[in-house]
Amino acid sequence: MNADDRLIVALDVPNLLDGGKIVDALGDTVSFYKIGLGMLTGGGLALANELKEKGFKIFLDMKFFDIGATVEKAVAGISQYNFDFLTVHGDPHVVRAAVAGRGNSCTKILAVTILTSLDREDLDDALIKSGNLSDLVKERAQNAFKAGADGIIASPQEAALIRALPEAVGKLIITPGVRPLGSVLDDQKRVTTPAEAIKNGADHIVIGRPIWDSKNPRKAALKILNELKVV
Ligand code: C5P
């Protein structure tokens, strides 16, 4: 599989049949797919295994959060499949449990700092301590790295901040919220272009709707990959 794996396509469709159609349409242009909670109940795990067997890389976006013992068991179960990336919330007890559960599997544990859909008002509602969002993101990233996370999910506008942390040396930064110039933002707010996200320090970018919801997904993916060639 030779496609540039810096591009991860989010298969945010309800079931494995729709997901399979997108994978077929993209053909050899894409080698890395993200399957999340939205598709899990529609056969997402089966599709993830099928794609893994065909040689694709798989990012399971599960965003686990629970008591340590439960997270550890859940991660131990899913790690048997040796998917490439798995997300958990970046709370240190969750990250530590996930790393323990992962054991010898090659699955990388990625921590979510603060969901990019949340603003300060949401954090107040959730009784999360005061301070501006980027300071909190930075602090949560540092804590997640100290707890053993292999990488962080962040907005591309936060990528540079995290990349500059001493704790981030050798760690992964993966950014959703990426929009090619001229495409609609959908519900994303803090976006950059694919090239900017990589320049800001992202190792991989996650893009969904601008690719799978376009009239010609293959053409849309190729345009993004072309943009990445010069970064
Ligand atoms: O369609 P779009 O490119 O906005 O898809 C981005 C993907 O990244 C979606 O699967 C979304 O759930 C995910 N994501 C995000 N922001 C986060 C974490 C994950 O957009 N903070």
Closest residue CA from atom 19 of ligand 1: 176
Does residue 97 register a pLDDT over 80? yes
Q: Tell me, in angstroms, the distance from the centre of ligand 1 to residue 206's CA.
A: 7
Per-residue confidence (pLDDT) for residue 186, from 0 to 100: 82
Sign of the alpha-carbon torsion through 32, 230, 187, 139: positive
Per-residue confidence (pLDDT) for residue 90, from 0 to 100: 97
Q: Tell me, in angstroms, the distance from the centre of ligand 1 to residue 160's CA.
A: 19
Per-chain mean pLDDT for the chain = 95
Closest residue CA from atom 5 of ligand 1: 208
C-alpha–C-alpha distance, residues 123 and 127, integer Å: 6
Closest residue CA from atom 11 of ligand 1: 176
* Residues near 142 by beta carbon (within 8 Å), at least 6 away in sequence: 165, 167
Instruction: Tell me if residue 223 is catalytic.
Output: no
* pLDDT tens per residue across span 54-94: 999 999 999 999 999 999 999 999 999 999 999 999 999 99
Does residue 106 register a pLDDT over 90? yes
C-alpha–C-alpha distance, residues 169 and 185, integer Å: 31
What average pLDDT score do residues 18-34 get? 97
**CB of 188 closer than 6 A to ligand 1?**
yes
Confidence of residue 1 (pLDDT cuts 50, 70, 90): confident
- Residue among 57, 63, 138, 223 flagged as catalytic: 63
* Residues near 127 by beta carbon (within 8 Å), at least 6 away in sequence: none
* pLDDT tens per residue across span 182-217: 888 887 777 899 999 999 999 999 999 999 999 999
The residue among 217, 196, 174, 160 whose CA lies nearest residue 84 is: 174
